[in-house]
A and B are shown apart, each in its own frame.
Chain A
Amino acid sequence: MRMNRLAAAALAAALVTGCASGAQDSAAPADTAAPAGNVKLTFWNWVPGMDKVVAVWNKANPAIQVVSSTQAGGDDAATKFLTAAKAGNPPDLMQAEYQALPSFVAADAVADIKAAAEPVRREFGEGVWGLVTLGTDGVYAVPQDSGPMMFYYRADLFEKYGIEVPKTWQEYAEAARTVREKDPKVFLGTFSSKDPGSFAGLAQQAGAQWWSISGEAWKVAVNDEPTRRMAEFWGGLVKEGVVDTMPYFTPEWNKALNDGKLLTWPSAVWAPGPLASNAPKAKGKWAVAPLPQWNAGENHTGFWGGSAVAVAAASKHKEAAAKFATWLNTDPEALTLLVKEGAIYPAATKGTALLTEPPAYFSNVPGFYEQAAAHTAGARGFTYGPNVNVAYNAFRDAFDKAAADKSSFVDALVKVHDATVADMTKSGFQLAR
């Protein structure tokens, strides 16, 4: 724990002075100077079909062999990686969700791979690149996929109930009321207190900046004005009873989607995957639109999900690993396979051009990926802090309760903010007042 705190404090300092690259990289050349003969890299990830992509690399690079190992995704993988890094035997390469990357950097678990990654910088959009630099001079991972948010709705049932696709959140609230009047068994949408990632995405759309670096210290503003406005909006709808409160990805949610009892899902570009497996009966009935906006005429969105490939600080072959990470996420052949086998939405801008066919579930929406690309352009920048997991857990606790009691969402948000600040203070980060 003490080591962790020191590392945390060191990160805050490094972020400010922008010299994070110094100490670690000086050791790297000595390690990688070893004969390039038999370099074997291990790669933890949870992309389906990654072994097929890796096989292509292994064939072309006999000197650098990569072994892909499928792990449980998300928070569990992040925790496991941090434990392995602490024990001194992490994998050489690690898939890192954008919100987990800062905690890896804070724990000194990932290496700065600027030397290898800088040349491919132009392959990525500014917003995505910011997620792997964390606003510093270093580069801590190569972006792999991203999740721009869009508005999914049941086109057939919208017609049946005579609802227009909402262009603003105000129209969304009106539509939610209309649906309840037309059929009390049906909801327009649901607020999920179990999915902080979705909440964070909607907050980004509203213009939130939960973490930022101000002068010498971190600034935390989970309860900033845009987030408060958004929380108040959803809290109001929940209290009024015009949106449901069942969480996403639960059996009851699957059932509601299948039975047409739930008409919309503000989700990310990867939504066709879960929809296809959870609501197979509704295939071809869904359509997609931009997220409703806070002010008419705007075109903003946020990100939900997405990940990058990082190189472990303890890896003996950092240079080789960084080379693979950049190849994996920028090479056309690798991207084509990732799209085909892994169904990812590539972060590299030229990767989106590979997506010409709409996903099978959305065969009725020919321009699916063109729409997605257009929305990505409207994504607002966002910096994740070093303790996103704490904030997310606090979100689940506070909003579970608020959604169940139909109490104030703004109060719940304040609780999330306080818990996040308290944890950062305890971990030794310097905070701006």
Chain B
Amino acid sequence: MATSTLASASRRRAAAPARRPLGLVPTGVLLLGAIYCLFPVSWVVVAATKTPGELFSTGTFALGTGLFDNLADLAAYRDGVFGLWMLNTLLYAGGGALLSTAVSAVSGYTLAKYRFAGRDLIFNLLIGGILVPAVVLAIPQYLLFSKIGLADTYWSVLLPQILHPYSIYLARVYATAAIPDSLLEAARIDGASHLTVLRRVALPLMAPGMVTIFLFQFVAIWNNFLLPFIMLGDDTKFPLTVGLFTMLNAGANNPSLYNLILAGTFVALIPLVALFLTMQRFWRTDLSSGAVKA
């Protein structure tokens, strides 16, 4: 008995140094991943500082001298249409993500905590919906919206992005794990209505999960190109993605606007970075609470 404990202890001691180099491997892989992800972003930041003359003649990562000129030109481009696109994008991404989060949270909670006829069918359909890429739906959605006269309106971009199967799935999984049935029962025994239970018990518990859904949807809508590109014809309703694309494809016979486009891309990154930095603490809560419940 004693020998075996000793043996296992010595084995453990022998294994420990062997594990240490392995411990560096995940860090290395993650570092590589971080560089892979940050490299294009850092290029945008550097390229946004270059004047048109410097863009193709100086080193790739040599800082240019034209950042403020570029930003000023961008603000002046077509009487400040870029600012309008920025506001539009905030509306689409902010409004869309908020509505989507609300719908997802309520649906996820219902699917997780209520038993009703057709629940599994609905859930399976939603799971199936995850498999259908949004890109495939853009043209049919455009034809439908044209039929009801909503094409080329703010709603045509907002509505299709509100119902998001993956977010509902996430909300359901989160609600299952985060809301104990006993708590709901206690609330009901105390005489709380369905709506009160939802508002006072379920949603507060689901808040970290909702932040996750909000962030996912916000980023997805912020970066969405095809849906607004197809839906919108009026350039005062464009989001940044479509607006920048019109600047990029201004026709071969026009002077290209690379420096403005790069400055615009740079500016478009800032709200996303700011959002992630401010929302980070909610993510941390999210991860830890998930760990506790599991």
A interface with B by C-beta (< 8 Å): 42, 44, 46-48, 51, 67, 69-74, 76, 80, 83-84, 86-89, 91, 145, 147, 197, 249, 251, 254-255, 258-259, 268, 270, 273-274, 276-278, 280-281, 305, 343-345
Contact = CB atoms under 8 A, between A and B. Distances in A.
22 contacts: A42-B234, A46-B249, A67-B234, A69-B235, A70-B246, A73-B249, A76-B245, A83-B139, A87-B147, A89-B152, A91-B233, A147-B253, A251-B56, A258-B56, A258-B57, A270-B254, A274-B253, A278-B56, A280-B52, A281-B53, A343-B254, A344-B253
Given A70-B235, A76-B249, A83-B230, 10 more contacts: A69-B233, A70-B246, A72-B245, A73-B252, A84-B151, A87-B147, A89-B146, A258-B56, A280-B53, A305-B252
Q: What 3 A-B pairs have minimum CB-CB distances, sorted nearest first?
A: A270-B253, A73-B251, A87-B146
A389 B177 CA distance: 54
B140 to A, nearest CB: 10
Given A80-B229, A280-B52, A274 B252 contact: yes
B249 A74 contact: yes
A73 B254 CA distance: 10
A76 B247 CA distance: 13
Contacts of B267: none
A274 B56 CA distance: 13
B143 interface: yes
Interface of B: 52-53, 55-57, 78, 139, 142-143, 146-147, 151-152, 229-230, 233-236, 242, 245-246, 248-258
Contact of A84 (B233, B246, B251, B256): B233
Contacts of B249: 46, 72-74, 76
Contacts of A280: 52-53
A274 B256 contact: yes
- Give the secondary structure class of A's interface: mixed
B233 A42 contact: yes
A185 to B, nearest CB: 16
With a 10 A CB-CB cut-off, give which of B57, B139, B248 has the most chain A CB atoms. B57
Contact of A73 (B147, B229, B250): B250
A197 B90 CA distance: 38
Contacts of B258: 277
With a 10 A CB-CB cut-off, give which of A47, A69, A88, A91 has the most chain B CB atoms. A69
Contacts of A277: 52, 255-258
Nearest to B236: A69
Nearest to B244: A72
